[in-house]
Amino acid sequence: MAIVFVGIDLAKNVFAVHGVNEAGKAELVRPNVPRGKLGELIARLPPCTIGMEACSGAHHWARQFQAHGHTVRLMAPKFVVPYRLSGKHGKNDAADAAAICEAVQRPNMRFVPLKSAEQQGRLMVHRARQGFVEQRTATFNRIRGLLSEVGIVLPLKAATVRKQVAGLLEDLPGWVNTVIGDLLSEVHRLDERIEIYDRYVAEMARQDHQAQRLMRLRGIGETTATALVAMVGNGRDFQNGRQLSAWIGLVPGQYSSGGKTRLGRITKAGDTYLRSLLIMGARAVLNAAKDKADCVSRWAVALAERAGYWKAVVAIAAKNARMAWAVLRQGEQFVMPA
């Protein structure tokens, strides 16, 4: 019988492959496939469904396997763990491949959207820019920590630290002056790199019609729009906007039992970077809503008065995520709320 489902446990150099036929019987069990042989092995198989965990290199292999006519599904590792027969086989690559093969067959399994090479390239721009921002923040904290050792305590605000350190630099003694001067130069270098990457993001937004449509939504600018397009694509991997909102982690966690519904804080699942961008955009929307009279602004202000500032911010971010899904799915047919 032909192989219909294949599970692959990805690694750096040695992969494990597990394939089953229509009856669920293992027809292909290869626990040690070298990296150079994996593509050749999959190319010889008839078109089938291949499952892999969403990890480093998964999208690269998915594109290669799709070129051979296979259907590729990526899953979050936490969704694969329940299918590992740990009591029988233990934790090893072969058991992981078998668990992936079992998980990909489940009808209600949630899959990760496949990214094209262009999407991954754009996402790398965001990752690199965010890395520079984190380095700059760490450098500011290092400056504050070192100066506190010599009795100079500065506030948290980066602009204030930058201004006060520049004024204090000449009065710092010996090696303190050298170290703080070098750290301040590092901050200036990171400022330049971040500014360059901001221009990259703006250029991506100008060239992408999907990003242009997303930017019509209040609270979604160039950075958020390009990040959404890079991560979500056309949104067709989600059945509705609530699924996208849940994927980002903007819905409350449930602790329900015995017919009693208990809703907790947001799950914070998914990508932290994308969620933080939507939250920051929602804050801007709420801050500007007091001076506007449209339906969204009235709803946001009323919600903030009823539920509090931060709950309103999260609700606006979740609404923006749902509308972003509608924009990506419907394109020009999407009608902006009045």
- Coil, strand, or helix at residue 262? coil
| 318 vs 166: which has the higher pLDDT | 318
pLDDT average, residue stretch 219-231: 96
Beta strands 49-53 and 71-75, pairing class: parallel
Q: Which residues, at least 6 apart from 107, have a Cβ–Cβ distance to it below 8 Å?
A: none
Q: Which of 310, 222, 322 is nearest to 266 (CA)?
A: 310
* pLDDT at residue 337 is higher than 90: no
pLDDT tens digits along 145-182 = 999 999 999 999 999 999 999 888 888 989 999 999 99
Beta strands 3-9 and 14-21, pairing class: antiparallel
pLDDT tens digits along 240-291 = 999 999 999 999 998 888 889 898 899 998 889 999 999 999 999 999 998 8
Distance CA 42, CA 60 (A): 14
Provide the pLDDT confidence category of residue 336 given band limits of 50, 70 and 90. confident
Instruction: Work out the percent of the chain whose per-residue pLDDT is above 70.
Output: 98
Distance CA 278, CA 223 (A): 10
Q: Which residues, at least 6 apart from 73, have a Cβ–Cβ distance to it below 8 Å?
A: 49, 50, 51, 52, 104, 109, 111
pLDDT average, residue stretch 290-307: 91
Packing angle, helices 117-148 and 174-207, rounded to 10: 160
pTM value surpassing 0.85: yes
In Å, how far are 126, 143, 196, 222, 242 from 137, measured between CA atoms? 17, 10, 17, 22, 34
pLDDT tens digits along 105-122 = 999 998 988 999 999 999
List of E strands, 231-319: 252-254, 263-266
Q: Which residues, at least 6 apart from 55, have a Cβ–Cβ distance to it below 8 Å?
A: 10, 77
* pLDDT given for residue 335 in this prediction: 82
CB 128 within 8 A of CB 197: yes
- Joined together, the tokens standing for residue 13 give 């150099």
Q: Which residue has the tokens 């609530």?
A: 242
* pLDDT given for residue 294 in this prediction: 86
Handedness of CA 85, 91, 94, 99 (dihedral sign): positive
Longest dimension (CA), the chain: 81
CB 202 within 8 A of CB 196: no
Q: Which of 314, 133, 307 is nearest to 219 (CA)?
A: 314
- Joined together, the tokens standing for residue 296 give 């969204």
Q: How many CA atoms lie within 13 A of 106 on its CB side?
A: 15
* pLDDT at residue 87 is higher than 70: no
* pLDDT given for residue 89 in this prediction: 56
* pLDDT at residue 54 is higher than 70: yes
* pLDDT at residue 311 is higher than 60: yes
* pLDDT given for residue 86 in this prediction: 63
- Joined together, the tokens standing for residue 233 give 């694509």
In Å, how far are 229, 245, 272, 334 from 212, measured between CA atoms? 10, 21, 23, 13
* pLDDT at residue 85 is higher than 90: no
Beta strands 49-53 and 3-9, pairing class: parallel
* pLDDT given for residue 18 in this prediction: 96
Task: Indicate the DSSP class of residue 235.
Answer: S
Task: Indicate the DSSP class of residue 299.
Answer: H
